[in-house]
Structure 1
Amino acid sequence: MKDLLIEILVEEIPADFAYPASLSFKKIVENILKSNGVNFSCINSYTTPRRLAVLAENAEEKSKDEIIEFRGPLFESAVKDGVLTKAGEGFLKSHNINADSIKNIDENESFDKPYLKEVKGRKYIFVKKEKKGIETKKLFEEKLENIISSIDFKKKMRWGDKDFAFVRPIRNVLALFGDEIIKTAVAGIETNNKLTGHRLLSPEFTEINNPKDYEKILLEKHVIVSREKRLENIINQLENIEKEYGFESVSKKKVSEIVADLVEEPHLFTAEFDSKFLEVPKEVLISEMIEHQKYFPLCKKDGSLTNLFVITANQPKTTQITAGNIRVLTARLSDGRFLYQEDIKKGMDEMNERLEMLMFRKELGSVSDKVKRLEKNSELLINLLGYGKDKENILKAVKYMKSDLVSNMVYNFPELQGIMGGYFAKSMNLNDDISLAINEQYKPLFASDEIPSNDTGKTIAILDKMDNITAGFYVGDIPTGSQDPNALRRQALGIINILIKSKKHINLKKLIEDSLNSMPKDARNNKSEDLVKDIFEFFKSRFENDIDFAKDSITGVLSTGIDDIYDAYLKIEAIDAFRNKNGELFSNLLAVFKRLKNIIKSSKDANLDESLLKEEAEKSLYNIYKEKLSEVNKLMENKEYEKTFALLASLYEPLDKFFKDIMVNVEDEKIKNNRIALLSLADKIFKNMLDFSSLIK
């Protein structure tokens, strides 16, 4: 057993290429070893901006010899009248066996000729071959260049006069099996056992004779070759800085993952930018520092940004490094401040005029046209939500909610749309309610995200998302399979979450219809006869897939024809709560309703005649039904659904007794239909909450 080590030294690898490439490299080497029968104990991959490496521990020096048996065609199909058929001839030829060897074929197994073997009572031609094991060192001498060229990158390049393509020019290839060099060449470079360290701190080459020393030697040469350990080192240094200053870093995980692939030996230290830049919105400063410079911004405990930031360098701190980073950041922040000030001078009214030039959808016109639709649709939604007191704020927020899309800031920082609008609203002296609403209009951005903080924000968020969804369906751009380029599924779930968390009962179908009616008539490409139904079903599918209740409870409630999402949520919540507390009773109810459904499923509607109720069990069921009906209606009206279902569940005993004592399908048609009508009443009262047929398996 020996350790296998391969390291490719290259020019700087792009940060987002490095880690995926190391996983690809590891997988390729692992597959080569396994497919050639070479056993090993474990395999590790390493990556830095300058190197990709794989270390396979305790690899066998040679794979085992194998005996492989190949089954051919049936003997009767391979030989006709003592002559080989095409099937038989093809099989022997594929294994380089002389056709004449078929003449004396028998059941004696041999490596030299074909033989017969019985499988399930029928005789087949077989060939046996010995596959000699291959030396691991020789295997990699033959395949190393192909292995390295197969590493997956988003883009590759060629350099010099070489045909070999790789992410960046290769400068050295270390290839060891135990203490022996795997002698071959990659991209014209002879493999060796030489290792170089940090480009500045330890650039000289050193021989390595034991693959297990790889990580240790590089650590001495100022390279933390393990990405995981480098990441841990960065986090530890950052946390020490946070503790020292009493501040918190922004986007710690995100920036750490980036800078881990930019350095071989991380050195974190602080620097300061001019505090005058703090007058610019902190999101702009943070975006500049993270997206462009890969710094860690530092905030106070209250979330306010400081002018202190953390640099991750590839060598110890020097005044030159600090000054250089401050100089570059100052230039960027100056640009950001200038653009922000220019936007403030223009104001949102001027920005709104330019929305005519910004396309929303080619079939539906500009963003300005979209805003006009939102203004029109806001009237109904304000009434449905009961936000009349906020009407003035909502209309003002709708008017300016898309203004920032044509600003300099959002052009340069697209991720700040909405956020910049909130700042621009403040600069126009619009009240805090409107500013916050515009800032949060795109929330929630994902399932666990917060919904907008105020009622104005909730209203414009629903309006915007609904317009996007109906627009997509209207022009025939509907999510299919995993394809949803306009994130309509996420936006539908966003509306659902806003309604549920805000505890708002609205007629969703009416809202969909209103949004569809605001679309230009000549823009419709969707030929569906009922778009309202299609879009409502789309909402239902998101609701079913994303809320955390029993799936059949969800289906059972939605099958009742409900169009109020929050009401459906409350009913499902109540049913699941009852189900979890009263499992046996719920199962008994399910069994009873299975019998009930089987009886009434093919029957016609009939009116119950109380005078035809003769038996005690049917009289008792009807009396209890009448007794509970008004109480159920009152509880339903007050939306006390857990109490409602508990009350409905009390019908189990009279229903159970009815089925034990009463024969429904009697000869007297009047009596039979009357009993079916009684069971239909029991079904209908439950359908206020749940369609049991959806739970019956």
Structure 2
Amino acid sequence: MTTQNLLVELFVEELPPKALNKLGAAFSNVLAEQLKAQGLAAADAVVTAFASPRRLAAHVTGVLAQGADKAVQQKLMPVAVGLDAAGNATPALLKKLQALGADVSDPAAAVAALKRAPDGKAEALFYDSIVKGASLQAGLQKALEEALAKLPIPKVMQYQLETDCELPGWSSVNFVRPAHSLIALHGFTVVPVKALGLTAGNSTQGHRFEAQVSPVVLPHADQYDEVLKREGSVIASFAERRAEIVRQLNAAAAKVGNGARPIDDEALLDEVTALVERPNVLTCQFETEFLGVPQECLILTMKANQKYFPLIDASGKLTNRFLVVSNISPDDASLVIGGNERVVRPRLADAKFFFDQDRKKTLESRVEGLSKVVYHNKLGTQGERMARVCAIAKAIGQQVGGDALAQQAEQAARLAKTDLLTDMVGEFPELQGIMGGYYARHDGLSTEVAEAIEDHYKPRFAGDDLPRNNVGLVVALADKLETLVGMFGIGNVPTGDKDPFALRRHALGVVRMLVEARLELNFFELTRQALTVFPAAVVQDKSVELDEFLVERLRGYFREAGFSIAEVDAAIFAQKLGHWSSIPARLQAVRAFAALPESPALAAANKRIGNILKKAGEVDAHVNPALLKEDAEKNLHAVMQKLLPESEAQFKAGDYTASLQTLAALRAPVDAFFDDVMVNAEEMDLRLNRQGLLKSLHVAMNRVADLSRLAA
């Protein structure tokens, strides 16, 4: 059968920019999957998605005009139901065959054409038939309806469409935006499918202002992007349009010089790509006096409100130039440039005004106002929350750095939320913490405290930096612990994919700070310490559940780093682990140990020892050499006397890899012990002595990691 490439385009009014790329991918993927499922396209057919502000399109290679006929076998019913005692067809069987379109004029011949095959404990009748392949029109109609139904539409709108029948009237259509035309081209041929009240043709509209012709007529499915670009002045491919914007942004920045480069923001780039059909990057500027405002404020207002790309210099400082991605390319761009400069000026002036006004009051003077801001109806005000974070920060600071750090951490925690009451943060909530740092410096506070106020929300997301100094680490840790303990304590626990208070992100932040900053703090003690700052009547003690939640985030963190589940569990479930800062070194030791030939046998032995000791109950790690009777247990004890002190010394020195590798020499004596020695001997003194020997060995083997987790 011959094939042709297929092009389907839906032309609509401006689509939601933040969802455009996802809509384009979903439309093309579902359309192609449905065509493949109906046998109209091969499994390896190439699918190309197109998405611009006013169109969704898909190009599929190798599509058949008529699907191949397929042999289908259908189960009818058990033989006992379909045939009587004489082997003749029952009325139920004949009715079923008739419903399937089979010829039942000769019942005996109809029965003879059936097949019998085992079906569970009984035998069943099966009917073989040939199903005619789907026509392209019918198959594409079904595929198109499915593709539109499965679009991840953020919000559906309803609009009226004039009917195309003889009687005048209007029909209601539900879709993300009003649709105006539909294309379905199979090679040169139009496939007359219908969707959203439209019948497919071979024409569409180009750029609103710069199209060369209207409408744009497509002669062939393979000429879609070429004709649309040439005659319609539209780059239909999202990826191509995005790449063109990047190219123009970099070229425009290079012309500015001084190492200027556009701000790096993938989300902004995607959104702007979804707003223009044929991009034209222009360079604009604003008055240098606005550079006295914190650059984060200026960058945010230009990106969020105007979709501009601010330019920063080689040192990372904001310049007074910015780039605009225009949707038109006039011969004289001065009016477009001037218009964008006029639009941004009031925004920057507002930011400057807020900054000047906010600095008239100190952060300390705003502390009292926190008591008037509700944090949570069950957990009180921001003032009450601030007091709790202060208490936690002071206690952690004392453990990490003594009185000096405790005092600085308490001060930073007291002021960390005060920028919520400033005009700048009221206008730009994304700047909370950042503005607090600027205002703290203006108030003459120390660099450590100012940076801690700025950083106390960190890490905000996966891959974000940790706070820059110990004061910031302590306050950030206290802030996240207060949130976790409080929310768990009132029952706001994440379920499934729902996590409205971002508790998983907070927990991962705690994990990262304890591990990456090498804070020698016991997470078990931290959660209980944080619980003490809450009134007993406000929250319940959910420490056990919170511990499990944190450990699960810890396991996920190291699995993301490339370690196996067995390696991670071996490291984090070591005996008397203490603090998490040692886990990376333990993991490296576990990986090195697992590569040794002795590893599987020792891991299995360790698991066996653990089971023996678990059944024995409380066992004293003490060995009486006089009670060692068998050669195998004497030999194991002698080797342990030599190797265990060496391994312990390496452990105390922090050389976990060497500590485990030293124990690898125990494989042979351990194997011999289990081959030749009965641990649970009838004589109680022998039994206890052998259990004590195994207890000593178990403690030593699990000091770095729980090696039993490596057992298959």
TM exceeding 0.5? yes
Q: Which moved more, 1:502-511 or 1:216-225?
A: 502-511
2:705 and 2:140 map into 1 onto residues whose CA distance is: 66
- Give the secondary structure class of the aligned counterpart of 2:359: helix
Structure 1 position 95 matched with structure 2 position 100:
yes
Q: What TM-score comes out, normalization by structure 1 length?
A: 0.90
1:536 and 1:184 map into 2 onto residues whose CA distance is: 58
2:145 and 2:511 map into 1 onto residues whose CA distance is: 55
2:263 and 2:576 map into 1 onto residues whose CA distance is: 44
Conserved? CA contact 2:41–2:63, under 8 Å: yes
Counterpart in the other structure of 1:392 = 407
Q: CA deviation at 1:408?
A: 2.3
Structure 1 position 312 matched with structure 2 position 325:
yes
2:709 and 2:426 map into 1 onto residues whose CA distance is: 50
> Residues 620 and 137 (structure 1 numbering): CA distance in 2 closer, same or farther, change over 3 Å?
closer
Counterpart in the other structure of 2:224 = 214
1:59 and 1:232 map into 2 onto residues whose CA distance is: 29
How many equivalent pairs are there? 686
Q: Deviations over 1:210-232 (max 9, x none)?
A: 22222111121321111111111
- Which of 521, 536, 542 is the matching residue for 2:553? 542
Alignment of 1:127-206 (within 5 A): 127-137=127-137, 140=140, 151-160=151-160, 161-183=170-192, 186-202=195-211, 203-206=213-216
Structure 1 position 6 matched with structure 2 position 8:
yes
- Give the secondary structure class of the aligned counterpart of 1:45: strand
- Which of 457, 460, 465 is the matching residue for 2:472? 457
2:138 and 2:638 map into 1 onto residues whose CA distance is: 90
Q: Which amino acid aligns with 1:379?
A: K
> Residues 588 and 427 (structure 1 numbering): CA distance in 2 closer, same or farther, change over 3 Å?
same
> Residues 370 and 89 (structure 1 numbering): CA distance in 2 closer, same or farther, change over 3 Å?
farther
Q: Which amino acid aligns with 1:168?
A: R
Q: Deviations over 1:305-361 (max 9, x none)?
A: 001001001122511111111111112112222222222223323432222232222
Q: Which amino acid aligns with 1:522?
A: A
Conserved? CA contact 1:550–1:576, under 8 Å: no
Structure 1 position 295 matched with structure 2 position 300:
no
1:123 and 1:662 map into 2 onto residues whose CA distance is: 59
Q: Deviations over 1:187-242 (max 9, x none)?
A: 55554322432221125224332222221111213211111111111111112223
Q: CA deviation at 1:425?
A: 1.0
- Give the secondary structure class of the aligned counterpart of 2:321: strand
Conserved? CA contact 1:442–1:461, under 8 Å: yes
Conserved? CA contact 2:137–2:193, under 8 Å: no
Q: Which moved more, 1:680-689 or 1:509-518?
A: 680-689
Counterpart in the other structure of 2:248 = 237
> Residues 532 and 72 (structure 1 numbering): CA distance in 2 closer, same or farther, change over 3 Å?
same
Counterpart in the other structure of 1:282 = 295
1:23 and 1:366 map into 2 onto residues whose CA distance is: 45
Q: Deviations over 1:262-292 (max 9, x none)?
A: 1111111210011111111111111111111
2:135 and 2:627 map into 1 onto residues whose CA distance is: 93
- The gaps in structure 1 that reach 5 residues or longer are 110-114
Counterpart in the other structure of 1:112 = none
Q: CA deviation at 1:66?
A: 3.4
- Give the secondary structure class of the aligned counterpart of 1:209: coil
Q: CA deviation at 1:563?
A: 5.5
Q: Which moved more, 1:416-425 or 1:549-558?
A: 549-558
Q: CA deviation at 1:473?
A: 1.7
Counterpart in the other structure of 1:583 = 596
2:144 and 2:545 map into 1 onto residues whose CA distance is: 56
Q: Which amino acid aligns with 1:271?
A: C
> Residues 343 and 653 (structure 1 numbering): CA distance in 2 closer, same or farther, change over 3 Å?
same
1:345 and 1:87 map into 2 onto residues whose CA distance is: 91
Identity over aligned pairs, percent: 27
Alignment of 1:418-567 (within 5 A): 418-524=433-539, 526=540, 531-547=542-558, 548=561, 549-562=563-576, 564-566=578-580
1:372 and 1:142 map into 2 onto residues whose CA distance is: 62
Conserved? CA contact 2:575–2:705, under 8 Å: no
Q: CA deviation at 1:18?
A: 2.3
2:102 and 2:194 map into 1 onto residues whose CA distance is: 37
Q: CA deviation at 1:382?
A: 1.4
> Residues 218 and 623 (structure 1 numbering): CA distance in 2 closer, same or farther, change over 3 Å?
same
Q: Which amino acid aligns with 1:45?
A: A
1:427 and 1:269 map into 2 onto residues whose CA distance is: 36
2:183 and 2:34 map into 1 onto residues whose CA distance is: 18
2:682 and 2:574 map into 1 onto residues whose CA distance is: 33
Q: Which moved more, 1:660-669 or 1:495-504?
A: 660-669
> Residues 101 and 408 (structure 1 numbering): CA distance in 2 closer, same or farther, change over 3 Å?
farther
1:660 and 1:28 map into 2 onto residues whose CA distance is: 62
Q: Which moved more, 1:637-646 or 1:367-376?
A: 637-646
Q: Deviations over 1:20-75 (max 9, x none)?
A: 22223213432442343313543322121122222233321222233433220012
User: What root-mean-square deviation, in Å, do the aligned CA atoms of Structure 1 and Structure 2 show?
Assistant: 3.1
- Which of 41, 47, 70 is the matching residue for 1:43? 47
Q: What TM-score comes out, normalization by structure 2 length?
A: 0.88
- Give the secondary structure class of the aligned counterpart of 1:19: helix
> Residues 240 and 486 (structure 1 numbering): CA distance in 2 closer, same or farther, change over 3 Å?
same
- Give the secondary structure class of the aligned counterpart of 2:497: coil
> Residues 534 and 562 (structure 1 numbering): CA distance in 2 closer, same or farther, change over 3 Å?
farther
1:601 and 1:390 map into 2 onto residues whose CA distance is: 44
- Give the secondary structure class of the aligned counterpart of 2:362: helix
- The gaps in structure 2 that reach 5 residues or longer are 161-169
> Residues 492 and 156 (structure 1 numbering): CA distance in 2 closer, same or farther, change over 3 Å?
closer
- Which of 251, 271, 282 is the matching residue for 1:269? 282
Conserved? CA contact 1:508–1:565, under 8 Å: yes
2:590 and 2:656 map into 1 onto residues whose CA distance is: 11
> Residues 205 and 389 (structure 1 numbering): CA distance in 2 closer, same or farther, change over 3 Å?
same
2:442 and 2:237 map into 1 onto residues whose CA distance is: 49
Conserved? CA contact 2:518–2:582, under 8 Å: no
